[in-house]
Amino acid sequence: MLTYVIRRILLLIPMLLTISFLVYTALELTPGDAVSALINPELASRLTEAQFYELRESYGLNKSFITRYGIWLGNVMQGNFGHSLAGGVPISTIFLDRLPATLELSLVALFFSTVLGCILGTYSALKRGSITDSSLTVIGMVGVSIPEFFFGLVALLIFALNLGWLPVGGRLLPGYETIWDRIPHIVMPAMVLSLMMTAGVMRYARSSMLDALTRDFITTARSKGLPEWRINLLHGFRVALTPVVVLIGFRLPVLIGGSVIIEQVFQWPGLGNEFIGAVRGSDYPLVMMIALFSVFTVLMASLIIDVLTALIDPRVRLS
Amino acid sequence: MPRTQDVALSVKNLKTYFYTNNRCNKAVNGVSFEIRKGKTLCIVGESGCGKSVTASTIMQLLPALSRIEQGQVTYHSDSGDVHIEKLQRDGKEMRAIRGSEIAMIFQDPMTALNPVYTIGFQIGESLKYHTDLSTKEIREKTIDLLRGMGISLPEMRVDDYPHSYSGGMRQRAMIAMAMSCNPKILIADEPTTALDVTIQSQIFELMDKLKAENETAIMLITHDMGVVAELADDVAVMYMGNIVEAGTVDQVLRHPVHPYTRALLKSIPVLGRGRNQDIQPIAGSTPDPYDRPIGCQFAPRCKHRIEACDVMPQEVTFNGTQRVMCWRYKEFLPDAG
């Protein structure tokens, strides 16, 4: 098991290198460079070629592409992510500031959708053909097909504006910082963000569970005289869980992507919100670092999923 | 007729029907037999004749769309008779019998074990639910069981997952699981079909040994006549949901009476008779279960068919223990020439 995890972590390194290179190249391909972005066009029109050259030289932009990538990579690995073009704030500061909010939102949504999706899907499979099962299937279809921002707006309209139960947006108000002050703020964005994933997990868990229940070892378990709950949960659900965990892993990027929109809808002060601002303001270094960070999250998530799958399914450990 | 106290399980006029799309498949259509204590009853017949359904019925492991329509399945336990057909399918009483009093091993050991649990865990589950042993005792007993089944290094293999066992080892583990609570009856549904021949004989030797040591009654479902000759005490031949002929192994194999039994025996090559032996396959194929012949089910394929065969024949008992369902059985008796 340990060698499996180590091997899996070592595999991350070439993947991260490749992706960082791709991200850097993408940035290189965008028109203009740091100099033209920093200096306003009016000033730029009055500068001579020699002055431009000097400016570039001072930023190290005249070095070859590969050299610059090497320097940048070295900096990133030392935790120096560069500066945001807007205001010159170190990107690491922005991350420290914004990341907790995004993580909080995504993790709550992830936890909620996993637990609820698994419970509803399993229940649906066990009560196959019942009214509950059919209704859950319909609700699941609706949940999968309607985009999240729409749900977000509807939820805002109902729970914040009409009923006034929950705050319209934001993460916490100044001066209110206990966990009880924060819960009302996270309920709506987290629910809306997890809705689509809950529906997906539920449908997947249902079919996976139905498949597991037809397997021969279920009959074996029954022939041993085990009670139904043990057959369904220990033998059925446990086997049905592996594909569901993989699905959740695949959906993680969607969750992160979704949070960009949801953070916007609910004015959640997270990285997603920052990302939109950075794109609007052509703040390339920040866009690049956020992109790289998302990639890193997805890779880490897939690592965690692989380890989890190996824990759940002994057959994976060998290969 | 065997005395009642020698009988572990008796089945009387059992009918199990399957319902799909408003059609009814009379998978088991009135079978009666007894499993004697410490003896092996072999049930033989072609695929789809109702052998496995009979086994599932005894264990109440039928799928949702099927039910016991009529008849009795009586388990003669030490503490009195239990009418299995009256028990709730997954109720407490039925669960107490399953795995403990009557245990079952299945055809394909590759799929019959749960891939995500260790062999030890899966054997231990039976013990956990049917005995008062502590966790430590369960583990020791599991290791003993595996050792008894001829698994080498059982102390280590007990913590292995099914995927690291070979097919033969898995079936041994299945048998260990089935035998863990010393059941009175062991139902084996084609336990060696998925295994190769050398492993087959090992598995059967093991079952025979267990039968002798524990007085377990075995119901063995097979379509291998060689296995029948080797292991059986009693034989029942099934065709389309009926037992067409039954008796002791000597009676049925040496003096088969029903045309189906005789055709079945003629269709099998015998080792040592060389390549020129006369093998006669049974003409035709089993009828569609939804479109059955009206009378004798074998009539359309039978060489000896007469008009009377359009009516279902009654079961006749002769020579004490041999039973047959055929209008012309008298003509086929050994002394009839």
Q: Has residue A71 been placed in a domain? A: no
Q: Interface pTM (ipTM) of the complex?
A: 0.86
Give me the average pLDDT of each 10-residue run along chain B (337 residues): 73 90 86 91 88 91 87 88 87 89 90 91 92 92 90 91 90 90 90 82 85 89 86 92 91 90 84 76 82 86 87 86 88 70
CB burial string A146-158: b at 16+ within 10 A, e below: eebeebbeebbee
Indicate which CATH number applies to the domain containing B283: 3.40.50.300
Taking the CA of residue A76 and the nearest CA in chain B, the distance in Å comes to 42
pLDDT(A253) > 80: no
Distance CA B189, CA B104 (A): 8
Residues of A in contact with B191 (CB under 8 A): none
- Asked whether residue B166 falls in the same domain as residue B42, the answer is no
B interface with A, Cβ–Cβ below 8 Å: 59, 61, 90, 94-100, 103-104, 106, 108, 111-117, 125-126, 129-130, 161, 163, 174, 177
Contact flag B125-A221 (C-beta cutoff 8 Å): yes
Residues of A in contact with B161 (CB under 8 A): 314-315
Nearest Cα residue to A159 out of A171, A149, A168: A168
Q: CA-nearest residue of chain A to B97?
A: A225
Nearest Cα residue to B237 out of B23, B41, B39, B86: B41
Q: Has residue A258 been placed in a domain? A: yes
- Asked whether residue B161 falls in the same domain as residue B196, the answer is no
- Asked whether residue B148 falls in the same domain as residue B194, the answer is no
Distance CA A227, CA B90 (A): 8
Write down the pLDDT at residue B1: 47
Q: Provide the domain limits for residue B159.
A: 114-182
Q: Has residue A64 been placed in a domain? A: no
Q: Has residue B107 been placed in a domain? A: no
3 state SS of A49: helix
Question: What tens digit of pLDDT does each residue of A15-42 get?
Answer: 888 888 888 888 778 776 666 666 777 7
Q: What is the mean pLDDT of chain B?
A: 87
Write down the pLDDT at residue B337: 47
User: pLDDT confidence of A89, banded at 50, 70, 90?
Assistant: confident
Spatial CB neighbours of B224, under 8 Å, sequence gap ≥ 6: B192
Mean pLDDT of A84-96: 80
- Asked whether residue B201 falls in the same domain as residue B307, the answer is yes
Please compute Rg for chain B using Cα positions. Answer: 21
Residue B322 backbone phi and psi in degrees, to 5? -90, 135
Distance CA A267, CA B93 (A): 60
* ∠ CA A15-A17-A20, rounded to 5°: 105
Token duo for residue A126: 């066990």
Q: Has residue A118 been placed in a domain? A: yes
A interface with B, Cβ–Cβ below 8 Å: 215-217, 219-228, 230, 235, 238-239, 242, 312-315, 318
B331 vs A135: which has the higher pLDDT: A135
Token duo for residue B61: 């492991």
Distance CA A100, CA A96 (A): 7
DSSP state of B184: S
- Asked whether residue B205 falls in the same domain as residue B256, the answer is yes
Domain-ending residue, one of B148, B182, B216:
B182
Contact flag B114-A220 (C-beta cutoff 8 Å): yes
Domain-ending residue, one of B131, B156, B182:
B182
Q: Has residue B13 been placed in a domain? A: yes
User: pLDDT confidence of A175, banded at 50, 70, 90?
Assistant: low
Write down the pLDDT at residue A153: 84
The tally of domains found in chain A comes to 1
Q: Provide the domain limits for residue A186.
A: 100-272
Q: Are A225 and B96 in contact (CB under 8 A)?
A: yes
